[in-house]
Amino acid sequence: MLSEKLEAALNEQINAEFWSAYLYLSMANNFEAKGNPGVANWFRIQFREEQDHAHIFMNYVNQRGGRVLLKPIAAVETEWATPLDAFKATLAHEQVVTSLINKIYAMAEAEHDYATRETLNWFISEQVEEEETAQQLIDKYTMIGKDGTGIYMLDQELASRTYTTPAPLATA
């Protein structure tokens, strides 16, 4: 059974994951409108992944006898001038998400809630990947600069990204 404090923190994280999904959907639509279908595809897949993260947390809260309480999702930005700007915003956002998950982990550790810690281990690894991927895309866009051919080729690369069901949902 979850403590009230951990249940509340996990519910906040569920809201944060849905907010993240909403942010990435906004980014996808921004770049679809600007003629960057590959970038839009990358963010649409990111949108789905964030929804999945929320579902993983919801499943966990329910498994532990808690109650999922959905809250309103705050407004998100709707405009990014360039993909580089969006990926810089993505990295900053993912760093915030990492800190939120780390706080829940510390709380679970303080309460000796080993099941919650174990569940959060997957998210900690996922956040390392999220931050690394965003940094790699920032590095690529920085290297390309304003070279139209490079931007086109990277957009094509991002268009090839496909959705993969996260492991905790694939076995559920």
Q: List, for residues 83-119, the tens digit of each pLDDT value.
A: 999 999 999 999 999 999 999 999 999 999 999 999 9
**Would you state the pLDDT for residue 70?**
97
**CB count, 10 Å around CB of 132?**
12
Binned at pLDDT 50, 70 and 90, residue 170 comes out as confident
Long-range Cβ contacts of 125-130 (<8 Å, 24+ apart): 126/53, 126/166, 127/94, 127/97, 127/98, 127/101, 130/94, 130/97, 130/98
What is the largest distance, in Å, between two alpha-carbon atoms of the chain? 55
CA distance 166 to 119: 13
Going from N- to C-terminal start, the domains of the chain cover 4-161
Q: What's residue 172's pLDDT?
A: 55
Enumerate residues 6+ apart whose C-beta is below 8 A from 115: 64
Helix (H) and strand (E) counts in the chain: 6, 0
Sequence-ordered list of residues with C-beta below 8 angstroms from that of 17, at least 6 positions apart, any chain: 50, 51, 53, 54, 57, 97
Q: Are 43 and 94 in contact (CB under 8 A)?
A: no
- Model confidence pLDDT, tens digit, residues 53-86: 999 999 999 999 999 999 999 999 999 999 999 9
Q: Which CATH number fits domain 4-161: 1.20.210.10, 3.30.300.20, 3.30.2290.10, 1.20.1260.10?
A: 1.20.1260.10
What percentage of the chain reaches a pLDDT higher than 90? 98
CA dist list (Å): 103 to 84, 91, 107, 108, 163:
29, 19, 6, 9, 28
Token digits of residue 39? 């970038």
